[in-house]
Protein backbone atom coordinates (compact mmCIF):
# COMPACT_ATOMS: atom_id res chain seq x y z
CA UNK A 1 0.00 0.00 0.00
CA UNK A 2 2.79 2.40 0.94
CA UNK A 3 4.71 1.60 -2.26
CA UNK A 4 1.59 2.16 -4.34
CA UNK A 5 0.96 5.52 -2.71
CA UNK A 6 4.59 6.50 -3.31
CA UNK A 7 4.30 5.69 -7.01
CA UNK A 8 1.05 7.66 -7.27
CA UNK A 9 2.62 10.69 -5.59
CA UNK A 10 5.66 10.57 -7.89
CA UNK A 11 3.48 10.30 -11.01
CA UNK A 12 1.25 13.18 -9.91
CA UNK A 13 4.16 15.50 -9.11
CA UNK A 14 5.94 14.64 -12.37
CA UNK A 15 2.78 15.58 -14.30
CA UNK A 16 2.44 18.84 -12.39
CA UNK A 17 6.11 19.75 -12.71
CA UNK A 18 6.30 19.42 -16.49
CA UNK A 19 9.78 20.09 -17.84
CA UNK A 20 12.27 22.91 -18.14
CA UNK A 21 15.64 24.11 -16.95
CA UNK A 22 15.41 24.75 -13.17
CA UNK A 23 12.89 23.25 -10.77
CA UNK A 24 12.72 24.50 -7.17
CA UNK A 25 10.69 22.65 -4.54
CA UNK A 26 9.52 23.37 -1.02
CA UNK A 27 6.74 22.27 1.32
CA UNK A 28 6.44 19.20 3.49
CA UNK A 29 6.09 16.83 0.54
CA UNK A 30 9.56 17.87 -0.61
CA UNK A 31 10.96 15.98 2.41
CA UNK A 32 10.11 12.82 0.48
CA UNK A 33 13.60 11.81 -0.66
CA UNK A 34 12.31 9.17 -3.08
CA UNK A 35 10.19 11.82 -4.80
CA UNK A 36 13.19 14.15 -5.18
CA UNK A 37 15.23 11.29 -6.65
CA UNK A 38 12.44 10.55 -9.15
CA UNK A 39 12.45 14.19 -10.27
CA UNK A 40 16.25 14.28 -10.54
CA UNK A 41 16.29 11.10 -12.62
CA UNK A 42 13.31 11.95 -14.83
CA UNK A 43 15.45 13.84 -17.35
CA UNK A 44 12.78 16.55 -17.61
CA UNK A 45 14.77 19.19 -15.73
CA UNK A 46 18.39 20.25 -16.01
CA UNK A 47 18.55 21.17 -12.32
CA UNK A 48 16.35 20.16 -9.39
CA UNK A 49 16.69 21.99 -6.06
CA UNK A 50 14.76 21.27 -2.88
CA UNK A 51 14.77 23.64 0.08
CA UNK A 52 16.56 21.56 2.75
CA UNK A 53 14.17 22.68 5.51
CA UNK A 54 11.22 22.26 3.19
CA UNK A 55 8.49 22.08 5.83
CA UNK A 56 6.86 24.89 7.78
CA UNK A 57 10.06 25.70 9.69
CA UNK A 58 11.75 26.66 6.42
CA UNK A 59 9.40 29.60 5.90
CA UNK A 60 11.66 31.46 8.35
CA UNK A 61 14.37 31.39 5.67
CA UNK A 62 11.92 32.63 3.07
CA UNK A 63 10.88 35.50 5.33
CA UNK A 64 14.51 36.48 5.89
CA UNK A 65 15.28 36.45 2.16
CA UNK A 66 12.10 38.39 1.41
CA UNK A 67 13.16 41.10 3.84
CA UNK A 68 16.70 41.05 2.42
CA UNK A 69 15.52 41.63 -1.16
CA UNK A 70 12.20 43.48 -0.89
CA UNK A 71 12.44 45.48 2.35
CA UNK A 72 16.13 46.38 2.37
CA UNK A 73 16.48 46.40 -1.41
CA UNK A 74 19.57 44.19 -1.72
CA UNK A 75 19.98 42.82 -5.24
CA UNK A 76 22.78 40.32 -4.63
CA UNK A 77 21.91 36.71 -3.90
CA UNK A 78 22.80 35.12 -0.56
CA UNK A 79 23.26 31.40 -0.17
CA UNK A 80 21.91 29.31 2.70
CA UNK A 81 25.38 28.08 3.68
CA UNK A 82 25.76 24.71 5.35
CA UNK A 83 22.36 24.97 7.13
CA UNK A 84 24.03 24.67 10.55
CA UNK A 85 22.34 27.78 11.92
CA UNK A 86 21.54 26.74 15.48
CA UNK A 87 23.36 27.27 18.77
CA UNK A 88 26.81 25.98 19.64
CA UNK A 89 28.53 25.54 23.00
CA UNK A 90 32.08 26.24 24.09
CA UNK A 91 34.29 24.00 26.21
CA UNK A 92 33.42 25.73 29.47
CA UNK A 93 29.67 25.36 28.91
CA UNK A 94 30.04 21.66 28.06
CA UNK A 95 32.35 21.03 31.02
CA UNK A 96 29.89 22.65 33.42
CA UNK A 97 27.10 20.33 32.31
CA UNK A 98 29.27 17.21 32.56
CA UNK A 99 30.54 18.14 36.02
CA UNK A 100 27.06 19.04 37.26
CA UNK A 101 25.93 15.58 36.15
CA UNK A 102 28.96 14.08 37.97
CA UNK A 103 30.17 12.31 34.84
CA UNK A 104 33.64 11.00 34.09
CA UNK A 105 35.14 12.29 30.87
CA UNK A 106 38.39 12.82 29.05
CA UNK A 107 39.32 16.09 27.36
CA UNK A 108 41.01 15.58 23.98
CA UNK A 109 43.51 18.36 23.39
CA UNK A 110 43.58 18.53 19.59
CA UNK A 111 41.31 17.86 16.62
CA UNK A 112 43.76 15.16 15.49
CA UNK A 113 43.41 13.33 18.82
CA UNK A 114 39.64 13.71 18.65
CA UNK A 115 39.42 12.19 15.17
CA UNK A 116 41.95 9.45 15.94
CA UNK A 117 39.97 8.41 19.03
CA UNK A 118 36.65 8.41 17.19
CA UNK A 119 38.06 6.33 14.32
CA UNK A 120 39.47 3.83 16.79
CA UNK A 121 36.07 3.50 18.50
CA UNK A 122 34.32 3.01 15.15
CA UNK A 123 36.94 0.45 14.17
CA UNK A 124 35.99 -1.56 17.26
CA UNK A 125 32.39 -1.63 15.97
CA UNK A 126 31.19 0.85 18.56
CA UNK A 127 28.33 3.25 17.89
CA UNK A 128 29.29 6.82 18.68
CA UNK A 129 27.43 10.09 19.24
CA UNK A 130 29.03 13.09 17.54
CA UNK A 131 28.07 16.62 18.69
CA UNK A 132 30.11 19.54 17.40
CA UNK A 133 29.61 23.13 16.31
CA UNK A 134 26.27 24.68 15.54
CA UNK A 135 23.10 22.60 15.49
CA UNK A 136 21.54 21.82 12.12
CA UNK A 137 18.46 23.75 11.04
CA UNK A 138 15.84 21.43 9.59
CA UNK A 139 15.05 17.73 9.99
CA UNK A 140 18.33 16.17 8.82
CA UNK A 141 21.46 15.46 10.84
CA UNK A 142 24.35 16.70 8.72
CA UNK A 143 27.30 15.74 10.90
CA UNK A 144 26.99 18.14 13.83
CA UNK A 145 24.33 16.24 15.80
CA UNK A 146 24.77 12.69 14.54
CA UNK A 147 24.98 9.08 15.66
CA UNK A 148 27.62 7.26 13.63
CA UNK A 149 28.51 3.64 12.92
CA UNK A 150 30.82 1.79 10.56
CA UNK A 151 29.29 0.06 7.51
CA UNK A 152 31.92 -2.63 8.03
CA UNK A 153 30.10 -3.73 11.20
CA UNK A 154 27.49 -6.26 9.98
CA UNK A 155 25.26 -5.54 12.99
CA UNK A 156 25.46 -1.74 12.92
CA UNK A 157 22.04 -0.99 11.44
CA UNK A 158 20.37 -3.67 13.57
CA UNK A 159 21.90 -2.23 16.73
CA UNK A 160 20.99 1.33 15.73
CA UNK A 161 17.34 0.40 15.28
CA UNK A 162 16.89 -1.96 18.23
CA UNK A 163 19.02 -0.47 21.00
CA UNK A 164 19.13 3.21 20.14
CA UNK A 165 16.28 4.33 17.89
CA UNK A 166 13.81 1.69 19.14
CA UNK A 167 12.06 1.54 15.79
CA UNK A 168 11.18 -0.87 13.00
CA UNK A 169 14.04 -2.74 11.28
CA UNK A 170 12.95 -1.62 7.81
CA UNK A 171 14.01 1.96 8.60
CA UNK A 172 17.42 2.62 7.08
CA UNK A 173 20.28 5.00 7.72
CA UNK A 174 22.17 7.44 5.54
CA UNK A 175 25.70 6.90 4.30
CA UNK A 176 27.94 9.96 4.73
CA UNK A 177 30.81 10.25 2.26
CA UNK A 178 33.20 13.06 1.23
CA UNK A 179 31.62 14.77 -1.78
CA UNK A 180 34.73 14.35 -3.94
CA UNK A 181 34.71 10.55 -3.35
CA UNK A 182 30.96 9.94 -3.60
CA UNK A 183 31.04 8.93 -7.28
CA UNK A 184 33.29 5.98 -6.51
CA UNK A 185 30.59 4.35 -4.38
CA UNK A 186 27.26 5.92 -5.34
CA UNK A 187 25.25 7.49 -8.15
CA UNK A 188 23.54 10.46 -6.53
CA UNK A 189 22.21 13.95 -7.29
CA UNK A 190 23.29 17.31 -5.84
CA UNK A 191 20.53 17.36 -3.22
CA UNK A 192 22.47 14.69 -1.31
CA UNK A 193 24.41 17.61 0.19
CA UNK A 194 21.46 18.08 2.57
CA UNK A 195 20.23 14.46 2.64
CA UNK A 196 17.20 15.40 0.54
CA UNK A 197 17.43 12.63 -2.06
CA UNK A 198 18.45 9.00 -2.46
CA UNK A 199 21.17 7.50 -4.62
CA UNK A 200 22.17 4.13 -5.97
CA UNK A 201 25.07 1.99 -4.81
CA UNK A 202 27.45 1.01 -7.57
CA UNK A 203 27.28 -2.77 -8.18
CA UNK A 204 30.78 -3.51 -6.88
CA UNK A 205 29.91 -2.03 -3.45
CA UNK A 206 26.38 -3.37 -2.92
CA UNK A 207 27.50 -6.15 -0.60
CA UNK A 208 29.23 -3.60 1.66
CA UNK A 209 26.13 -1.45 2.08
CA UNK A 210 23.43 -4.13 1.89
CA UNK A 211 22.16 -3.46 5.44
CA UNK A 212 21.36 0.17 4.50
CA UNK A 213 19.71 -0.48 1.12
CA UNK A 214 16.12 0.64 0.65
CA UNK A 215 15.60 -1.95 -2.08
CA UNK A 216 17.91 -3.68 -4.53
CA UNK A 217 20.37 -0.80 -4.84
CA UNK A 218 18.93 2.49 -3.54
CA UNK A 219 20.38 4.15 -0.45
CA UNK A 220 20.20 7.49 1.33
CA UNK A 221 23.45 9.34 0.67
CA UNK A 222 24.91 12.38 2.43
CA UNK A 223 27.70 14.05 0.47
CA UNK A 224 29.97 16.13 2.72
CA UNK A 225 31.86 19.14 1.41
CA UNK A 226 34.99 20.24 3.24
CA UNK A 227 33.69 23.82 3.17
CA UNK A 228 30.39 22.78 4.78
CA UNK A 229 31.72 20.69 7.65
CA UNK A 230 35.54 20.48 7.79
CA UNK A 231 35.70 18.42 11.01
CA UNK A 232 33.21 15.79 9.85
CA UNK A 233 34.88 15.72 6.42
CA UNK A 234 38.21 15.02 8.13
CA UNK A 235 36.62 12.23 10.19
CA UNK A 236 35.33 10.52 7.04
CA UNK A 237 38.73 10.73 5.38
CA UNK A 238 40.42 9.41 8.53
CA UNK A 239 38.00 6.48 8.61
CA UNK A 240 38.86 5.80 4.98
CA UNK A 241 42.58 5.89 5.71
CA UNK A 242 42.15 3.43 8.57
CA UNK A 243 39.75 0.98 6.89
CA UNK A 244 39.81 1.68 3.17
CA UNK A 245 36.17 2.88 3.29
CA UNK A 246 35.60 6.66 3.76
CA UNK A 247 31.91 6.16 4.53
CA UNK A 248 30.02 6.17 7.83
CA UNK A 249 26.40 5.44 8.59
CA UNK A 250 24.78 8.59 9.93
CA UNK A 251 21.47 9.05 11.74
CA UNK A 252 20.16 11.91 13.83
CA UNK A 253 21.34 12.19 17.43
CA UNK A 254 18.07 11.75 19.29
CA UNK A 255 15.92 9.02 20.74
CA UNK A 256 12.82 7.84 18.90
CA UNK A 257 10.09 10.47 19.15
CA UNK A 258 12.45 13.16 20.49
CA UNK A 259 13.73 16.19 18.58
CA UNK A 260 17.35 16.45 17.52
CA UNK A 261 19.57 17.10 20.54
CA UNK A 262 20.54 20.74 20.88
CA UNK A 263 22.32 21.32 24.18
CA UNK A 264 25.02 19.33 26.01
CA UNK A 265 22.39 18.35 28.58
CA UNK A 266 20.19 16.96 25.78
CA UNK A 267 23.18 14.97 24.55
CA UNK A 268 23.91 13.51 28.01
CA UNK A 269 20.28 12.45 28.47
CA UNK A 270 20.10 10.72 25.08
CA UNK A 271 23.51 9.07 25.54
CA UNK A 272 22.67 7.49 28.90
CA UNK A 273 19.14 6.52 27.80
CA UNK A 274 20.28 4.49 24.80
CA UNK A 275 22.72 1.87 23.58
CA UNK A 276 25.25 4.39 22.26
CA UNK A 277 28.73 3.22 23.28
CA UNK A 278 30.75 6.40 23.15
CA UNK A 279 30.06 10.14 22.88
CA UNK A 280 32.12 13.06 21.63
CA UNK A 281 30.78 16.49 22.64
CA UNK A 282 33.20 19.11 21.48
CA UNK A 283 36.61 17.95 22.70
CA UNK A 284 35.07 15.88 25.52
CA UNK A 285 34.94 12.09 25.26
CA UNK A 286 32.58 9.98 27.36
CA UNK A 287 32.36 6.19 27.50
CA UNK A 288 30.04 3.74 29.17
pLDDT tens by residue, 105-163? 999 999 999 999 999 999 999 999 999 999 999 889 999 999 999 999 988 888 888 77
Please, are residues 173 and 250 in contact by the beta-carbon 8 Å criterion?
yes
Which residues are paired to 50 by β-bridges?
25
Sketch the domain layout of the chain as residue ranges.
2-71, 91-287
4-23 confidence digits (pLDDT tens) = 999 999 999 999 999 999 99
- Res. 168: pLDDT tops 80: no
pLDDT at 248 exceeding the cut of 80 = yes
Residue 117 CA to residue 85 CA, distance in Å, equals 27
For residue 149, CA distances in Å to 109, 213, 240, 268 come to 23, 15, 13, 19
Residue 84: pLDDT over 90: yes
In angstroms, rounded to a whole number, what is the distance separating the alpha carbons of residues 49 and 209? 27
- Specify the pLDDT at position 79: 84
CATH 3.90.870.20 fits 91-287, yes or no: yes
Amino acid sequence: MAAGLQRAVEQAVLRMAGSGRNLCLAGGLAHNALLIAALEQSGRWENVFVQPAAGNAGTALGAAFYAWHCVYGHAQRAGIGNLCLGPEYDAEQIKQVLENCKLRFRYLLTADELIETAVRELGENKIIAWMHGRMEFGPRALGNRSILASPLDPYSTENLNIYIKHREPFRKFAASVPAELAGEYFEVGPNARFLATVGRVRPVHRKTFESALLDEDRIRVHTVLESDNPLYWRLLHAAGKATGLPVLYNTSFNLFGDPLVCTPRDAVRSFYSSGIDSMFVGQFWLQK
